[in-house]
Amino acid sequence: MAHAGLGRFERKIVMAILAVAVMPLAAALWLGQRVLHEAYTVGVNPQVVQQLDQGLGLYRRHLSSLREAADRTALAVSGDHMLHLALAVNLEGSAPGSSGATEVPDPEGVNRALARLLVRFDNIIELRIRDGQGRVRGEARGSGGALRLRELRLERPLQALSDLQIEVTVGAPAGPFEDYQRAGEMRRIVTTLQRGSAYVSGFYLAVYITLLLSAIAVAVAVGIVLSRRVTRRVSQLAEATARVGRGDLAVFIPDDDADEVGELTRAFNDMVRDLSESRERIDYLQRVGAWQEFARRLAHEIKNPLTPIQLAVQEADRAYKGDDAEYRAMLSDTRTIVEEEVQTLRRLVGEFSEFARLPEVRLETADLVEVVKELANVHELRNEAEREEGLLSVGLELDLPTHPLRLEVDTMLLRRALDNLLRNAVEALRAGPVTARARMFLSVRELPSEVRVEVRDSGLGVAAEDRTRIFDPYFTTKSEGTGLGLAIVKKIVLEHGGLILCCPAPEGGACMRIRLPLKGALLGEVDDGAA
Average confidence score pLDDT of the chain:
77
CA angle 219, 223, 229 (to 5 degrees): 145
- Rounded mean pLDDT, 459-466: 87
DSSP 445: E
* pLDDT band per the 50, 70, 90 thresholds, residue 159: low
Residue 426 lies inside a defined structural domain of this protein: yes
**Residue 455 CB neighbours (<10 A):** 24
Residue 120 lies inside a defined structural domain of this protein: yes
Which of 244, 357, 230, 340 shows the shortest CA–CA distance to 292? 357
Shared-domain flag, residues 446 and 371 = yes
424, with CB counted inside 10 A (0-12, 13-18, 19+), is: buried
> Total domain count for the chain?
4
How far apart are alpha carbons 428 and 426 in whole angstroms?
A: 5
Task: Show which of 326, 357, 388 is a domain's final residue.
Answer: 357
Shared-domain flag, residues 334 and 377 = no
How far apart are alpha carbons 364 and 428 in whole angstroms?
A: 33
Which of 483, 484, 488 shows the shortest CA–CA distance to 500? 488
Residue 89 lies inside a defined structural domain of this protein: yes
Residue 327 lies inside a defined structural domain of this protein: yes
Residue 320 lies inside a defined structural domain of this protein: yes
Q: Is the pLDDT of residue 455 over 90?
A: yes
- Rounded mean pLDDT, 312-337: 82
How far apart are alpha carbons 190 and 185 in whole angstroms?
A: 9
How far apart are alpha carbons 502 and 471 in whole angstroms?
A: 9
Shared-domain flag, residues 390 and 457 = yes
Residue 243 lies inside a defined structural domain of this protein: no
Amino acid 1: pLDDT: 42
Residue 69 and residue 121 in contact, taking contact as beta carbons nearer than 8 Å:
no
How far apart are alpha carbons 410 and 515 in whole angstroms?
A: 15
At residue 203, φ and ψ (nearest 5 deg) are -65, -50
Shared-domain flag, residues 185 and 109 = yes
Could you report the per-residue pLDDT of 5-42, keeping only the tens digit for each?
556 666 777 777 777 777 777 777 677 667 766 666 66
Domain interval for residue 509 = 361-531
Higher pLDDT, 187 or 409: 409
Question: By 3-state DSSP, what share of the chain in percent is helix, strand and coil, each rounded to 5?
Answer: 60, 15, 25
Our measurement of the distance from residue 282's CA atom to the centroid of its chain's CA atoms, rounded to an integer in Å, reads 40
pTM above 0.95, yes or no: no
Shared-domain flag, residues 12 and 109 = no
Which of 409, 425, 423 shows the shortest CA–CA distance to 378? 423
Amino acid 418: pLDDT: 95
What amino acid occupies position 97?
G
Shared-domain flag, residues 12 and 74 = no
Residue 429 and residue 457 in contact, taking contact as beta carbons nearer than 8 Å:
yes
- Rounded mean pLDDT, 30-58: 68
Shared-domain flag, residues 85 and 117 = yes
437, with CB counted inside 10 A (0-12, 13-18, 19+), is: exposed
Amino acid 445: pLDDT: 94
Shared-domain flag, residues 313 and 281 = yes
Residue 3 lies inside a defined structural domain of this protein: no
Q: Is the pLDDT of residue 178 over 60?
A: yes
Residue 242 lies inside a defined structural domain of this protein: no
Shared-domain flag, residues 208 and 141 = no
22-36, 56-70, 315-329: least confidently modelled range: 22-36
Shared-domain flag, residues 140 and 184 = yes
Residue 7 and residue 209 in contact, taking contact as beta carbons nearer than 8 Å:
no
Shared-domain flag, residues 35 and 93 = no
> Domain containing 422 — which CATH number?
3.30.565.10
Shared-domain flag, residues 347 and 211 = no
Task: Show which of 324, 341, 357 is a domain's final residue.
Answer: 357
**Which DSSP string do the residues of 288-317 spell out, in sequence order?**
HHHHHHHHHHHHHHHHHHHHHHHHHHHHHH
- Rounded mean pLDDT, 76-82: 75
Q: Are strands 149-157 and 406-409 parallel, antiparallel or unpaired?
A: unpaired
Task: Show which of 334, 357, 380 is a domain's final residue.
Answer: 357
80-94, 207-221, 255-269, 367-381: least confidently modelled range: 80-94
Amino acid 452: pLDDT: 95
